[in-house]
Amino acid sequence: MYIKDISLSCFRNIENAHIELKNGINIFYGPNANGKTNFLESVYICSTGRSHRTKNDKELINFNSDEAHVKVFIQNENITQRIDAHITRGNKKGIAVNGIPLKKSSELFGTLYTVIFSPEDLQLIKDAPSQRRRFIDIELCQLSKVYCYNLQQYMKALKQRNNLLKEIQKEPSLKETLFAWDSQIVQYGKSIINQRKKFVKDLSFKSYIRHKQISSNEEQLSIEYNPSSDENSFEEKLFNSLNRDILSGSTSVGPHRDDISFYINGNDVRVYGSQGQQRTAAVCAKLAEIDIIKENSGVSPVLLLDDVLSELDKERQHMLMDCINSVQTIITCTGIEDSVKSYAGEAAVFNVKKGIINREI
Ligand SMILES: Nc1ncnc2c1ncn2[C@@H]1O[C@H](COP(=O)(O)OP(=O)(O)O)[C@@H](O)[C@H]1O
Ligand SMILES: [Mg+2]
């Protein structure tokens, strides 16, 4: 799968752009704060229905405008599809596929597959558990509409349960009404745990293979799922934590408290790994994401590399570049770095300055 062309209007500082992309490497370079990440963000929105850096869609609209548009044409074998995103100050964001508006932006998952890699992702291993859950959720939502639905329903029921817990503190008789939310939480929660378990097993295996390609054979990477509760005991644990949950006004067990851990030769990378080992493990997990999408959906995702090359040492830069030859890649960087230069001959190169994007090569 690859993006053929993309048009933006009044999207952040990019007032107008029509860009034809190469089915290969596309390099966007220019000074800081000129619109490179803005451009990637517009692609990401056409993939997941939301921005990777803000929940507030209004921020996406150019300061001097009332609406922003993004239009993308994607090619998958001999099928062309069109995605339109329309963001206005007054209404909810509208997304259409081939001219047909979607009821919910989450319906977009699975139309344009992307894997995004920004400097923050290099912190994946050290970051808060919520970032690692986000990493898993976005990947699984792209791959499974069922997962996406279960997650949405779970989060809705969780919110209601937490509200009710707070009300029970004042009005204990309401305790009897909790079961309605509990049964939903258990139903959706169990499927989430089950899907995450399978996913992390696959992620671990594919990251292990990637890691083997780039590190010495002495190092073995593995990733483990640390569920807050396993499927079978979830209902019981939820029940047993009720009094504590009422006191705190929040739910203490369930997939919203899950985590994953990274190990090298059995040692926890978060605790014992050097910064280099942590970064390499994060790169491998991202590369494994590409492999998982390819295997499960049968299509190659588009890789979005936002300014990460400069964060990696030469060796890791080359390793990353060597791994991406079979997927369309959009790279942003401030200057054409050495690792990119060797590919520049076969890449399309664009200059980004003050929101104006020009193709140079
Ligand atoms: N809604 C908006 N309207 C106009 N300009 C914006 C908007 N949102 C962000 N910007 C501008 O975009 C620039 C940052 O762009 P960004 O793509 O993050 O930079 P970089 O090229 O470093 O990746 C800043 O100058 C910021 O003021
Ligand atoms: Mg940037």
Instruction: Verify that 15 and 130 share a domain, yes or no.
Output: no
Instruction: Verify that 291 and 303 share a domain, yes or no.
Output: no
12 lines ligand 1 (CB under 6 A): yes
Residue 129: the pLDDT is: 96
CA-60 nearest atom, ligand 1: 1
Instruction: Verify that 206 and 162 share a domain, yes or no.
Output: yes
Instruction: Verify that 69 and 20 share a domain, yes or no.
Output: yes
Which of 296, 326, 342 is the last residue in one of the domains? 296
The band of 353, judged by pLDDT with boundaries at 50, 70 and 90, is very high
Instruction: Verify that 18 and 89 share a domain, yes or no.
Output: yes
Average pLDDT score over the chain: 93
Nearest residue CA, atom 19 of ligand 1? 33
Instruction: Verify that 142 and 253 share a domain, yes or no.
Output: yes
Residue 329: the pLDDT is: 94
Q: Is the pLDDT of residue 234 over 70?
A: yes
Residue 90: the pLDDT is: 87
C-alpha closest to that of 277 among 125, 115, 118: 125
Instruction: Verify that 332 and 303 share a domain, yes or no.
Output: yes
Q: Is the pLDDT of residue 1 over 80?
A: yes
Q: Is the pLDDT of residue 345 over 80?
A: no
Q: Note down the domain range covering 257.
A: 120-296
CA-31 nearest atom, ligand 1: 21
C-alpha closest to that of 288 among 232, 214, 226, 342: 214
CA-32 nearest atom, ligand 1: 22
Which of 272, 296, 320 is the last residue in one of the domains? 296
Ligand 1 centroid distance, CA of 181 (Å): 42
Looking at the CA of 13, which ligand is closest?
A: 1
Instruction: Verify that 290 and 346 share a domain, yes or no.
Output: no
37 lines ligand 1 (CB under 6 A): yes
Q: Is the pLDDT of residue 87 over 70?
A: yes
Which of 262, 296, 330 is the last residue in one of the domains? 296
The band of 324, judged by pLDDT with boundaries at 50, 70 and 90, is confident
Q: Is the pLDDT of residue 269 over 70?
A: yes
62 lines ligand 1 (CB under 6 A): yes
Q: What are the tens digits of pLDDT across the range 184-230?
A: 999 999 999 999 999 999 999 999 998 988 776 678 999 999 999 99
Instruction: Verify that 189 and 250 share a domain, yes or no.
Output: yes
Q: Is the pLDDT of residue 343 over 70?
A: no
CATH of the domain at 134: 1.20.1050.90
CATH of the domain at 4: 3.40.50.300
317 lines ligand 1 (CB under 6 A): no
Residue 74: the pLDDT is: 98
Provide the edge-to-edge strand list for the sheet that holds 114-117.
114-117, 302-306, 329-333, 25-29, 348-353, 356-359
Instruction: Verify that 106 and 22 share a domain, yes or no.
Output: yes
Residues 6+ apart with CB under 8 A from 68: 8, 9, 10, 11, 12, 60, 61, 62, 86, 87
**Overall number of domains in the chain:** 2
The count of other CB atoms within 10 Å of the CB of residue 209 is 13
Instruction: Verify that 130 and 243 share a domain, yes or no.
Output: yes
Nearest residue CA, atom 14 of ligand 1? 33
Instruction: Verify that 182 and 315 share a domain, yes or no.
Output: no
Q: What are the tens digits of pLDDT across the range 301-322?
A: 999 999 988 888 887 787 788 7
Q: Once rounded to an integer, what is the mean pLDDT over residues 337-359?
A: 83
Ligand 2 centroid distance, CA of 212 (Å): 31
Q: Once rounded to an integer, what is the mean pLDDT over residues 233-257?
A: 96
52 lines ligand 1 (CB under 6 A): no
